């Protein structure tokens, strides 16, 4: 299976960011987005004293990664969970604090490469898009049952699609004739609905709509909104977190959480800032770091990646 060896995005930079926190024996690092296990395998190899806890909501990803990480034995604990469930997972495992956390957000290569999962707009496939196929509504159900106003909101908010109204009008008209089930029909409808000028910019015109549907189906932003603060909270003093985002909505959310943690919360005008108001985080990246041109040339999926890192420098005040 060739994509099992798919190269993880910005791998060396992620390892470098987390390294200072993972050298001590007994250090625990959490890979919140296991996928095909590329980052996890690299973490276990690079930090032989560390233990790994890895989460994924996709059962197939867990099975494949389990085979890949088997040589590491009980150093790797794989858990079927969504990443906002991190506090519960750590509590069940009896781990009070961790030294490192990694998020590689977005869709795994396996999900993009398997046509029947319905994530890709480049090939015809069932409109599913669920990362965990054992629960939740599919993209087809969203398209076929959501009120028009809600569909417009989703396309605008999650896809940043300027032509949302045009696309939704066409979807509503077409779904009354026959419900949507496959991606090719949706891609064709989007092409037909867009004005000529909108088709000339930004790659496949269906890209933004597919992104919006995927985020809605998997509740990605609401999950992330809970997950990043929970992950920061789970860090031990000196612990580090690295987050790879793939679109501006994710990156903005990560930026806000990190910025809030790195700011002192004292009322203005205090001559000395008491300990309880001091920042809890130190930013490890200046803004968001981008992949190199060489990396993008080798792995086109790295192109939109944005990496941010932070370190826990103070405990929460009681």
What is the sign, positive or negative, of the torsion defined by CA atoms of 199, 202, 206, 212?
negative
- Binding residues for S-adenosyl-L-methionine, by number, are 37-39, 56, 83, 104, 111
- For residue 288, CA distances in Å to 114, 292, 305, 310 come to 30, 13, 9, 11
**CA-wise closest residue to 133 among 208, 209, 56:** 56
What is the sign, positive or negative, of the torsion defined by CA atoms of 135, 139, 145, 148?
positive
- Binding residues, by number, are 37-39, 56, 83, 104, 111
Dihedral angle computed from the Cα positions of residues 280, 283, 284 and 285, in that order, rounded to the nearest 10 degrees: 160
Instruction: Enter the tokens of residue 73.
Output: 């034995």
Angle CA 85–32–260, to nearest 5: 80
Beta 51-56 vs 98-104: how paired, if at all? unpaired
List of residues 6+ apart from 160 with CB closer than 8 A: 208, 248, 249
Look at residue 19 and give its three-state secondary structure: helix
């Amino acid at each position: 299976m060739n994509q099992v060896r798919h190269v993880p995005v910005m791998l060396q930079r992620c390892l470098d960011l987390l390294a200072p926190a993972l050298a001590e024996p007994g250090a625990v690092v959490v890979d919140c987005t296991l996928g095909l296990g590329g980052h996890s395998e690299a973490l276990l190899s690079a930090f032989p004293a560390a233990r790994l806890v890895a989460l994924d909501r996709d059962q197939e990803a867990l099975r494949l990664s389990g085979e890949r990480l088997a040589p590491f034995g009980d150093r790797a604990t794989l858990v079927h969970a969504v990443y906002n469930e991190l506090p519960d997972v750590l509590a069940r495992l009896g781990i009070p604090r961790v030294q490192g956390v990694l998020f590689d957000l977005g869709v795994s290569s396996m999900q993009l490469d398997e046509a029947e999962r319905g994530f890709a707009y480049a090939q015809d496939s069932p409109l599913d898009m669920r990362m965990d196929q054992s629960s939740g509504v599919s993209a087809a159900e969203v398209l076929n049952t959501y009120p028009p106003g809600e569909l417009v909101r989703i396309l605008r908010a999650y896809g940043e699609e300027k032509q949302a109204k045009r696309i939704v009008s066409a979807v509503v008209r077409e779904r009354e004739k026959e419900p949507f089930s496959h991606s090719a029909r949706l891609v064709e409808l989007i092409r037909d609905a867009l004005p000529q000028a909108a088709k000339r910019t930004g790659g496949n015109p269906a890209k933004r709509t597919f992104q919006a549907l995927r985020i809605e189906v998997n509740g990605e932003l609401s999950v992330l909104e809970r997950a990043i603060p929970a992950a920061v909270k789970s860090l031990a003093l000196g612990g580090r977190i690295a987050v790879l985002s793939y679109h501006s909505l994710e990156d903005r959310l990560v930026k806000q959480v990190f910025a809030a943690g790195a700011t002192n919360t004292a009322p203005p005008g205090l001559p000395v800032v008491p300990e309880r108001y001091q920042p809890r985080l130190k930013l490890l990246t200046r803004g968001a770091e981008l992949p190199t041109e060489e990396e993008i040339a080798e792995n086109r999926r790295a192109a939109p990646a944005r990496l941010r890192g932070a370190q826990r420098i103070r405990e929460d005040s009681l």
